[in-house]
Amino acid sequence: MTNPVVLLAAATLLVGLAAGHAPAAQVGQAAPPFEADSSVGPIRLADYQGKKNVLLAFYYADFTSG
């Protein structure tokens, strides 16, 4: 017995969950600008523009494997 309403509700929930985990920034968009302190002093993303590509690697915390 498969109730189409239940199926639809489940599908909607799955789509919602997927959307909730999707990155806020997307390929093809301008990278959101930022200015922040770092281990080597203040850093602005804009400073790299026209000079270097940037790999921005987010991780959970120092001294962890993540």
Partner 1 sequence: MTAFQADIAAFERLNTQVLGVSPDDVATHKRFAESLKLTFPLVSDPGGKIQAQYGPGRIAFFVDLQGVIRLIVEGMPDNTQVLADIERLLK
- Which positions lie near partner 1, rule CB under 8 A? 21-34, 36-40, 43, 45-46, 48-63, 66
Nearer to partner 1, 3 or 63 (CB): 63
By beta-carbon proximity to partner 1, the closer residue of 4 and 41 is: 41
How far apart are CB 15 and partner 1 at their closest, in Å?
17
Contact 29, 23 (CB under 8 A): no
Count CA atoms within 13 Å of residue 12 on its CB side.
6
Residue 56: CB partners within 8 Å, gap ≥ 6?
A: 31, 45
How far apart are CB 10 and partner 1 at their closest, in Å? 23
